[in-house]
Amino acid sequence: MNKRLIFVLAGFSLLACNFLFPQKASPTLNPEISSSENEQILELAELTIVRLHRQAGDLQAMLATESKKAAALGQVPVVEFDATWCPPCLAIDSAIESRNELILSAYRGIYIIKLDVDEWGWSNSGVQNFNFDAIPVYFKLDAEGNQTGEVIDGGAWGEDIPENIAPVMDEFFYSGK
Amino acid sequence: MKLHSLFILPFLCVLAACGRSSTAAQGISLSLASFTENYVDVSIHLEGSVGEGYILSATFTPPDGYHLYSKDIPLNGVEGLGRPTLLELTEYSQLHALGMLTESVKTMEPNFEPKELLVYPSGTVTLSLPVELPARDAWLDDTVKITFMACSASTCKPPVTGMIVPIRVPGAGVYK
């Protein structure tokens, strides 16, 4: 009799826990190429990540819009080209998703605008004014969505670990500020 | 003068015979194609002899510090990551594969997840495929299919998937 009561109470406790502390769907930084809507993938206190889709409109107009949103948040707009098949790109996404302190510290105050190369193409296939030959690659934008000329790719750090990435990106993001 | 010719003629015949047997023993080594695509140098060769058979091979040389992925990972990568390194005969190729594709270097586990995403050490990789030449006495136009992707520890070049490369191959009768 006591055992049955314990089982019933345990069941109720589990239900109550789920109700009181619902599990949030973990954000994924992987793109959905078929989408026609731009996505806000992640918004932490001082880091925003959005992904732009080709079907959603003109790239330069969207970059201008996103840069204004970044300015309103007091964040620096940065375009990142990535791809689902790129292990180094995934390494950075994973570090952000797992809330790696070094990476989050380096990316503090940044507004990442992700563009998938399989959707937008490489620099030689029509992505206006963006010149690159490897990913991940980051382009700083000004408040109007234009490139500032500051660019960095994964070649700037060695092995893809937060200890290597964080200081390099921190310097890149905050240089000239 | 005539006597002199009598000595030279057999000598030339012997030389010619030696030359022919030497060619047969050494076999052929032909460069079928050579190009650079997405920063990787690729060269395609055909080597072998009538007696020992022929090997079609592709040598991939990525930029310094870059590696290629195992020929054995799926076409769409492991969990979507990476792309295999492949040399394939096309559907209507007149060459016939006689065995499995082999690699010149051993793969290794990457130092990141997923560990199944096997990579070759940085540098050149050669893939080889034993083939049978078409039963013809002439050279023929043919094609092979090439797939690869080069990444370093922190950056990736664009992948090349199923690139059709035109080649010209000898029929089996050409070297008989």
Average pLDDT, chain B: 88
Nearest in space to B71 (alpha carbons), one of B122, B111, B32, B126: B126
What's the pLDDT score for residue A3? Answer: 60
Angle between helix axes A87-97 and A162-174 (nearest 10 degrees) is: 80
What's the pLDDT score for residue A7? Answer: 57
Q: How far is A99 from chain B, CA to nearest CA, in Å?
A: 17
B154/A90 touch (CB, cutoff 8 Å), yes or no? no
What's the pLDDT score for residue B25? Answer: 44
* Cα atoms in the Cβ-side hemisphere of radius 13 Å centred on B103: 19
Q: Which residue has the tokens 């295999």?
A: B84
What's the pLDDT score for residue A102? Answer: 94
Measured in whole angstroms, how far is the alpha carbon of residue B147 from the centre of its chain? 13
What tokens were used for B65? 């510090």
Residues in chain B: 176
B156/A122 touch (CB, cutoff 8 Å), yes or no? no
Pick the range with the lowest mean pLDDT from A94-103, B5-14, B91-100, B111-120.
Answer: B5-14
What's the pLDDT score for residue B112? Answer: 80
Q: Which domain holds residue A41?
A: 28-174
Residue A96 has pLDDT above 70, yes or no: yes
**Tens of pLDDT, residues B53-76:** 999 999 999 999 999 999 999 999
Comparing A40 with B10, the larger pLDDT belongs to A40
Q: What is the share, in percent, of chain B residues with pLDDT greater than 90?
A: 78
In one-letter notation, the amino acid at residue A141 is L
Pick the range with the lowest mean pLDDT from A8-17, A91-100, B128-137, B145-154.
Answer: A8-17
**In-domain check, residue A12:** no
* Cα atoms in the Cβ-side hemisphere of radius 13 Å centred on A75: 25
**Tens of pLDDT, residues B115-157:** 999 999 999 999 999 999 999 999 999 999 999 999 999 999 9
Q: Are strands A110-116 and A76-82 parallel, antiparallel or unpaired?
A: parallel
**Tens of pLDDT, residues A126-167:** 566 798 999 999 999 999 999 999 999 998 988 888 999 999
Q: List chain B domain ranges.
A: 29-175
Residue B103 has pLDDT above 60, yes or no: yes
**In-domain check, residue A116:** yes
**In-domain check, residue A17:** no
B111/A117 touch (CB, cutoff 8 Å), yes or no? no
**In-domain check, residue A123:** yes
The number of domains in chain A is 1
ipTM, interface predicted TM-score of the complex: 0.79
What tokens were used for A41? 């993938």
Q: Are strands A47-51 and A39-43 parallel, antiparallel or unpaired?
A: antiparallel
Measured over the CA atoms of residue B116, residue B117, residue B120 and residue B126, the dihedral's sign is positive
What tokens were used for A34? 């078929």
Q: Which residues of A touch B122 (CB under 8 A)?
A: none
Chain A / chain B CB contacts < 8 angstroms = 63
Query: Which pTM was predicted?
Result: 0.79
**In-domain check, residue A50:** yes
- Cα separation of A93 and A116, whole Å? 13
Chain B residue with Cα closest to A87: B81
What tokens were used for A30? 């992987």
Q: How far is A119 from chain B, CA to nearest CA, in Å?
A: 13
What's the pLDDT score for residue A19? Answer: 46
**In-domain check, residue A14:** no
**Tens of pLDDT, residues A30-86:** 554 446 678 777 767 689 999 999 899 889 999 999 999 999 999 999 999 999 999
pLDDT band at A10 (very low <50, low <70, confident <90, very high): low
| Distinct helix (H) and strand (E) counts, chain A | 6, 6
What's the pLDDT score for residue B111? Answer: 80
What tokens were used for B86? 């492949």
- Cα separation of B11 and B91, whole Å? 49
Residues in chain A: 177
- Residue A146 maps to which CATH number? 3.40.30.10
Torsion (CA) A88, A89, A91, A97 in degrees, nearest 10:
180
Write the residue in A90, A134, A164 that is nearest to B155 by C-beta: A134
For residue A41, give the H/E element and its range. strand A39-43
**In-domain check, residue A1:** no
- Cα separation of A92 and A159, whole Å? 12
Fold of B29-175: Immunoglobulin-like (2.60.40)
Phi, psi values for residue A111, rounded to 5°? -120, 100
| Chain A positions with Cβ closer than 8 Å to B | 83-91, 117, 122, 133-137, 153-160, 164-165
**In-domain check, residue A6:** no
